[in-house]
Structure 1
Amino acid sequence: MQKLKNIYHLLQAILANILYGFPSQKLKVIGVTGTDGKTTTTHLIAHILKKAGKKVSFVSSIFASIGGKESDIGFHVTTPSSFALQRLLKQSADNNDEYFILETTSHALDQNRVWGINYQIGVITNITHEHLDYHGNYEDYAKTKLKLLKLAKIGIKNTDKVVNIIKKIPNLTEFNQSNYSSAYNVCKQLGCSDEEILNAMKSFVLPKGRLDLVYDKDFKIIIDFAHTPNALAQLLSSIRKLYLEKGGRLIHVFGSAGLRDFTKRPLMGESSGKYCDLVILTEEDYRTEDPEEICKQIALGIKNKSFQIILDRQEAINHAIKIAKVDDVVVLTGKAHEKSLCRGKIEEPWDEYEAVEKALKL
């Protein structure tokens, strides 16, 4: 069935390219894929190129920035539909941009939604456990990600080796050292000097919902989009190193999306249980699944650690902040920048930042 759907998506992509005149041929398109770190790497590449005086537009999971104007790309979307994407590329070309940075998902690659895009460079940040509900197994998932390198004139596969120049940037977490290394390698290919890259990196502010310290008084509150086992492990271990070496507890509020890869749920629980002192499991876009059952599946991976299930996300956040003591860190993961919470078949308005503000006022 999916193969038939992919033929439909291919036809859509062909029509979209024809309708908008194959706009990517007028641009240098950089594709960024990977399980984790895509958004940070996309924003960072765009930032470096802009600081180097280049005209740049980009599309990430947070928003599209075309000619300096930001626009929403929809609920739970990273790579837009073929028609929406080609329209954005056309707007960028009409703006006489030189570069277009495109956060590119495995779904978009598999479904042929990026057919016809002239990728100058493709970069893979990493490949870890995710989307096995769609791809079936890790091997097929990895093969799909690698398609980007075959589509691009230049393919860059990131490694765990951190570029030396990155080590000059203070207070950079290990996972962001990897993201910054990916961006560095791309920008070097595009002719940027080490000095240009380093100066731009020093002024870069992480995108919304990425290690976002939103409250820093007697205790701290951090919002992050991490929603895979690897991302949680990287994030939570980094938070311990940054903020908890002298004491304090790490309190984690999170869930897992419904009708998505269920095999990752206990692994997410394992990552949280390994680094956190208290885990509060809650809803996260449960769709038509039972949110309590999702939480129980996550809990299977939590070993020898205290955890609670509070299904209402606002109530879970309220409780976490209420019990926080001096020097504690409360971290909320999975929603970050997203503007809705899918309950059943309804996308209800949601703002993680407003939820924190409400909890602090109680």
Structure 2
Amino acid sequence: MVKLSKLIEDLPGAQVVGSPDVEVTSVVEDSRECTAGCVYVARSGAVADGRKFIPAALKAGAAAVVLGGSPHADAGSVTQVIVPDPALALALLSAALHGHPARQLVMIGVTGTDGKTTTATLIHAILRAAGFEAGLISTIHAVIGDAVIETGLHVTTPNAPAVQALLARMLAAGITHCVLEVTSHALVQQRVAGIGFDSVVFTNITHDHIDFHGTPEAYLAAKASLLALLAPRGLKPTVSKTAVLNRDDASYAPLVQRCAAARVDYGLHPAAHVRAAAVQSGAGGTSFELQAGEIFCSVHTPLLGDFNLHNCLAAAACTLQLPGVMPQAVQRGIASVAAVAGRMEPIDAGQEFLALVDFAHTPNSLRSALRAARQLCGGRLWVVFGAAGLRDVAKRRWMGAIAGELADCVVITAEDPRTEPLREIMEEISSGCAAAGGVPNKTYWLVPDRAAAIGFAVQRAAANDVVLACGKAHEQSMCFGEVEFPWDERTVMRSALAVRLGHPAIPAPELPTAL
């Protein structure tokens, strides 16, 4: 346990009502997780105001409450800490509770619209190849040594208490470097506040999450705020503080304007500090000559898709400026990542066509995935995808048009419709297909049940076709109404292939849309 007074030492603008010397056992933001001795932080979320749950937190034994505005009338004699920003307080208190573990780790943050998970995975692999004990927190999971920890549903960056707990666990396990995938939501919601990053990596910034941020400019500003989290030069002075930027992306110029740190640019642009030449790609991956100053070396990635070239360059640019990373480690690390779960991941059951599962759920990532799949396709290109309910509606028709233009056969289906009518979402997407010249029930189909949609494409695929399922990938649930139903896209693809090939049945999850 630790005294509350110790935790709030670095909390800006904190005003304490009551005793600051209460003993604290944990910091939580969910009243249902409150236990005796905890600090409950009442922050406003997307759905509810945390102040409403203060009575429940007190009943569960909270030793103190952190909140914005004025003191809560029902808190009684329990200590209250009034702060300007409860979300920021949650992050800073969580870091303090665990002894600020990020200050003792080399911290690498990876953000962007697409490619974050793959880039973070590649950086982690390079660090391991260089001989470092490295940890990873990504969309898919956290990796600490040999332990793999699930990080939840539909959330790329865990909440601040979970992030700090993982960092503390890494430190206790002897980890020296951590790669953390950071979303725009996490930056706005202060989930990574209190972490001083040594390197921040930007993949690309394209259209996404406009429902949350409001405008593309606000979305860019949210991503760019990661630059402000680079650690002060006096913290971990042996590690340079560097921003790694994509020279080929439209976000490059505005990010440069906001960047006060040392900068490393990557891309195919001749002015990039880290770039690729002699690029050759195909069904076996991509090979290229890596050029970084006086460094010249051959690199091969088994990952499919031209877009993974930029992910590899980002990982190389990030790691080559870290002490102890040699070009050979970059070569070995990149080559060791044969696949990233749900990222152009092949599902092979012995069929005569290629089946792929990918997380593409933005216009840019869908375009990139379809272009990559086309390079692997000797027949027709099938794509199965949908669009999430209560999320960015502007991209639905846009993604339908992209699919209609780049795929031969489009199967439109469910993808977390939440409380929106699924049929309306599908029709918005189909209007984009029609605008691109698609013909209903000939080049595009609406199949509400996602398992049936994947089965529809698999049953009709011919030799040398490609069936690409986009949007869900690694995610383990799908939301209908307000209920998360179990889901695993890879299992569903394997199940559909088993039916097609007459193999023993593979049980697959069912959704409310199943007939």
TM-score (norm 1): 0.95
Where does the alignment leave 5 or more consecutive residues of structure 1 unmatched?
A: none
Following superposition, the deviation at residue 173 of structure 1 comes to: 2.6
Say if 2:337 is the partner of 1:259. Answer: no
1:212 alignment partner AA: E
More strand, by proportion: 2
Q: For 2:460 and 2:218, locate their aligned partners in 1 and report how far apart those are by CA, in whole Å.
A: 43
Equivalent positions of 1:138-157 (< 5 A) are 138-152=216-230, 153-157=241-245
Tell me, what secondary structure is at the counterpart of 1:65? strand
Partner of 1:285: 416
Alpha-carbon deviation of 1:309? 0.5
- State the Cα deviation string for residues 175-205 of structure 1 (Å, max 9, x = none): 1001111101000111322222122212222
Matched, 1:206 2:284: no
Q: Which moved more, 1:110-119 or 1:160-169?
A: 160-169
Counterpart residue number, 2:498:
361
CA offsets, 1:96-124, max 9 Å, x none?
A: 21101000000111111111002010011
**Is structure 2 residue 463 aligned with structure 1 residue 326?**
yes
Does residue 221 of structure 1 match 2:355?
yes
User: For residues 309 and 316 of structure 2, what CA distance do their matches in structure 1 show?
Assistant: 10
Contact 2:299 2:334 in 1 (8 A): no
Over 3 Å off, 4+ runs: 1-6, 165-168
User: Which secondary structure state, in structure 1, belongs to the residue aligned with residue 85 of structure 2?
Assistant: helix
In the alignment, the residues of structure 1 paired with residue 299 and residue 165 of structure 2 have an alpha-carbon distance, to the nearest angstrom, of 39
Structure 2 counterpart of 1:72: 150
The alpha carbon displacement at 1:240 in A equals 0.7
Deviations 1:266-319 (A, max 9, x none): 121122112100100000111111111111111222111221110011111111
Counterpart position of 2:427: 296
Give the partner amino acid of 1:232.
L
Instruction: Report the 3-state secondary structure (helix = DSSP H, G, I; strand = E; otherwise coil) of the residue aligned with 2:479.
Output: strand
Cα separation, 1, equivalents of 2:221 and 2:453: 38
Q: Does 1:117 align with 2:195?
A: yes
Aligned residue identity for 2:123: I
Do 1:222 and 1:330's aligned partners in 2 also have CA atoms closer than 8 Å?
yes
Cα RMSD for the two superposed structures: 1.8
TM-aligned CA deviation for residue 155 of structure 1:
1.2
Task: Tell me, in whole angstroms, the C-alpha distance in 1 between the residues paired with 2:153 and 2:390.
Answer: 15
TM-fit CA distance, 1:2:
7.4
Matched with 1:52 is 130
Gaps of 5+ in 2: 1-43, 51-83, 231-240, 249-266, 269-274, 277-288, 291-297, 500-515
Distance change in 2, residues 1:38/1:170 (3 Å): closer
Please identify, of 223-232 and 207-216, the stretch whose mean Cα deviation from structure 2 is larger. 207-216
CA contact (8 A) 1:31 1:103 kept: yes
Amino acid in the other structure paired with 1:102 = L
- Does residue 238 (structure 1) correspond to residue 238 (structure 2)? The answer is no
Q: Secondary structure at the match of 1:208?
A: coil
Cα distance change of structure 1 residues 65 and 295 upon mapping to structure 2, 3 Å threshold = same
Distance in structure 1 (CA, Å) of the matches to 2:337 and 2:218? 35
**Partner secondary structure for residue 300 of structure 1:** helix
Greater mean deviation of Cα atoms: 197-206 or 29-38:
197-206
Matched residues in 2 for 1:180 and 1:159: separation?
14
Counterpart Cα distance in 2 of 1:308 and 1:140:
35
Return the alpha-carbon distance in structure 2 between the equivalents of residues 358 and 9 of structure 1. Answer: 43
How far the C-alpha of 1:9 sits from its partner, in A, is 1.5
Secondary structure of 1:336's partner? coil
Looking at structure 2, the residues matched to 46 and 30 of structure 1 have their Cα atoms a distance apart, in angstroms, of: 10
Tell me the distance in 2 between the aligned counterparts of 1:358 and 1:168: 36
Native 8 Å contact 1:123 1:149 kept in 2 = no
Is residue 63 of structure 1 aligned with residue 141 of structure 2?
yes
Alignment of 1:176 with 2:313, yes or no, is no
- Whether the 8 Å contact between 1:59 and 1:102 is mirrored in structure 2 is yes
Q: Does 1:90 align with 2:168?
A: yes
Deviation (angstroms), 1:68 = 2.4
Paired letter, 2:374: R
Q: Deviations over 1:204-254 (max 9, x none)?
A: 22211111110253111111111110001111111111x22xx41001100
**1:10 aligned partner:** 88
Q: Report the 3-state secondary structure (helix = DSSP H, G, I; strand = E; otherwise coil) of the residue aligned with 1:223.
A: strand
Cα contact 1:282–1:313 (8 A) shared by 2:
yes
Quote how far apart the aligned CAs of 1:341 are.
1.1
SS in structure 2 of the partner of residue 217 of structure 1:
coil
Offset at 1:168? 4.0
SS of residue matched to 1:61: coil
% identical equivalent positions: 40
Residue of structure 1 equivalent to 2:105 = 27
- Measure, in 2, the Cα distance between the counterparts of 1:277 and 1:158: 31
Give, in whole Å, the separation in 1 of the partners of 2:301 and 2:186: 35
Deviation at 1:158, TM superposition (A): 1.6
Output one character per residue of 1:102-152: Cα deviation in whole Å (capped at 9) or x when no partner: 000001111111110020100110000000001111111011101112212
TM-score (norm 2): 0.67
| Structure 2 residue matching 1:126: 3-state secondary structure | coil
C-alpha spacing 1:57/1:168, structure 2 compared with 1 (3 Å): closer
The structure showing larger relative contact order (alpha-carbon pairs under 8 Å, at least 6 residues apart) is 1
Corresponding residue for 1:108? 186
Question: Deviation per CA, 1:306-353, whole angstroms, max 9, x where unpaired?
Answer: 211100111111111111111111110111111111111111111112
- Structure 1 partner of 2:77: none
The answer for the alignment partner of 1:187 in structure 2 is: 319
Q: Give the residue type in structure 2 aligned to 1:39.
A: T
